[in-house]
Amino acid sequence: MTDDAVCPVLIGGRWRPARNPRRFFRAVDPSTGMETAGLYPVSDASDVEEALAAGSAAAPGMAEAGPEAPADFLDAYADGIAARAGEIVAAAHRETGLPEAPRLRDVELPRTIDQLHQAAHAARDRSWCRATIDTKAGLRSRYEPLGGPVAVFGPNNFPLAYNSVAGTDFVSAIAAGNPVIAKAHPCHPAVTRILAETAFACLERSRLPRAAVQLLYHLPPDVGLALVADRRLGASAFTGSRPGGLRLKEAADKAGRPIYLEMSSVNPVFLLPGALRERGEKIAAEMFGSCTAGAGQFCTKPGLIVLVEDEAGRRFFDLIQAAFAGAPAQVLLGESVLSGIRAALEAMTAAGADIVAGGRAPSGSGFRFENTLLRASGDAFLRCPRPLQQEAFGPVSLAVLVRDGGQMAAVAAALDGNLTTAIFSHSGADDESLYGELAPILLTRCGRFLNDNVPTGVLVSPAMVHGGPYPAAGHPGFTAVGFPAAMVRFAALRSYDRVRAHRLPPELRDENPTGTMWRWIDGEMTRGDAAGAAQKSMR
């Protein structure tokens, strides 16, 4: 491919040129600010229309293929990614500035491969569909595919693990039996193209429809809004900024289409007095590392640190301020991140916060910003809680120094919803009373609650929750990480009322189709057969 070659889109089971592109774009190496090779189209409505038609036509075939077919595809895709690991990591590094090692090669790539295998296992196991049988009433229900394609909008900060054609939303939708229309993030189109090539090669050898995976690189805002509102779409998933997410949500809601969002979070951390007296220096090192990991471009970065301004609190603050001031600036993902930081700092300082470390973009090529720490009093925060708890995506955190535990609880009560909240407490009983006051407040304001641990790092585990109340996410009842729970977002709950046995889905017939899947039969969770459960209830 030459530098000026326009990359094809993947629509309807084939790679082809975009029909009527609005314009073209190149990715930018954020470490230098220079454009990279490859020209990518911004698709218009005609590409989206064809993708929707192909995805809609593929949906019945996806459902009829059964759970083994998507599971086999996901396992093969994981192996394909592993085979092209060097190429994928190099492209991701070039487009994001994230280090090849350990971040991309040793952490994010293995996680991406692992979540493909985990989703494949969940699809084969079938317990995720929550088959429920009431033998007396003749009612049976399960979660099953939506009947239409899922549109996935990927973010800029995880080019592999959250990629629109390999990340958790993509994997969950495929494992649940739905086709996917992937919309790449314009910050890393090359790595997305490589992943889509790998996926499509596996798809051609699978039992799934060839339009089960489609790729568009970029869309104008009006076309993206029309996509999520289209009634042929089963659902949408978006990870990114709050303004962009809310515009998509408004369009989807007006049309009655489901959309799952991960938008913004400051992930507040409450440092209780006993903890800082006991191990303030250790906590300061952990907090600085968490705040600045990946240049602060994690959705779980602690953007708000709350502590009491006593002797231990002041000592902690001095330590973390020195850490922020002494570390070099890191590469940001792009110019939009830089402009977002500047806008957030302007709003936060106008609301009463002071910049005490960093606050500038160093001169030179590429996109960088100094590690930045702000300080505000508890009184200032309670006067203007909204601007002082906005997400500053990047190496920026705000420390709120409160008078006492009572004001700390007032700050907690003023918080919006977040992906995470954390409390650091004394290893003994020194902070027990204050912990007991704060925990009930904070638990209602997050999806994941941590004690004595920083929030960066999201383990792909069945027990993980990566979601939370608005504005962290669009709905507090779902998670974007963790199988099988993440799959339920892209499924419809359907009941079968006295449907003849041979017409039921295998998961709802009397005999357990795998012998190992869990089903809820006549009020009992069991791996047994429904007939056996019915006979047991008659004894």
Tracing tokens 């957030």 back to the chain, one arrives at 344
Given 187, 202, 299, 446, which residue is catalytic?
299
pLDDT in tens, the chain (539 residues): 445 789 999 999 999 999 999 999 999 999 999 999 999 999 999 999 999 999 999 999 999 999 999 999 999 999 999 999 999 999 999 999 999 999 999 999 999 999 999 999 999 999 999 999 999 999 999 999 999 999 999 999 999 999 999 999 999 999 999 999 999 999 999 999 999 999 999 999 999 999 999 999 999 999 999 999 999 999 999 999 999 999 999 999 999 999 999 999 999 999 999 999 999 999 999 999 999 999 999 999 999 999 999 999 999 999 999 999 999 999 999 999 999 999 999 999 999 999 999 999 999 999 999 999 999 999 999 999 999 999 999 999 999 999 999 999 999 999 999 999 999 999 999 999 999 999 999 999 999 999 999 999 899 999 999 999 999 999 999 999 999 999 999 999 999 999 999 999 999 999 999 999 999 999 999 999 998 554 444 33
For 84, the token pair is 């092209």
What DSSP designation does 106 have?
Answer: I
Quick one: angle between helices 109-125 and 68-83, nearest 10? 160
What is the rounded CA–CA span in Å between residue 122 and residue 261? 23
Q: Is 299 a catalytic residue?
A: yes
CA distance 286 to 456: 10
Domains of the chain: 9-263 (3.40.605.10), 269-451 (3.40.309.10)
Residue 371: CB atoms within 10 Å: 24
Q: Nearest CA to 209 among 10, 13, 9, 49?
A: 13
What's phi and psi for 84, nearest 5 deg?
-110, 25
**pLDDT on residue 533:** 52
Q: What is the pLDDT of residue 539?
A: 36
Answer yes or no: pTM beyond 0.75.
yes
The full 3-state SS of 28-53, as one line of letters, equals EECCCCEECCCEEEECCHHHHHHHHH
Q: Which amino acid type is present at position 173?
A: A
CB 9 within 8 A of CB 215: yes
Measuring CA to CA, which residue among 109, 125, 103 is closest to residue 167? 109
Contact 74, 119 (CB under 8 A): yes
Given a contact cutoff of 8 angstroms between Cβ atoms, the answer to whether 47 and 222 are in contact is: no
What pLDDT was estimated at residue 532?
56
Distance, in Å, from the CA atom of 378 to the CA atom of 150, rounded to the nearest integer, reads 44
Query: Alpha carbon 31 to chain centroid distance?
Result: 25
Reply yes or no on whether 507 is catalytic.
no
H-only helix segments in 145-271: 168-175, 189-204, 221-229, 242-255
Q: Which two tokens stand for residue 187?
A: 């910050």
Label residue 209 exposed, middle or buried (CB < 10 Å: 0-12, 13-18, 19+).
buried
Beta bridge partners of 401: 307, 377
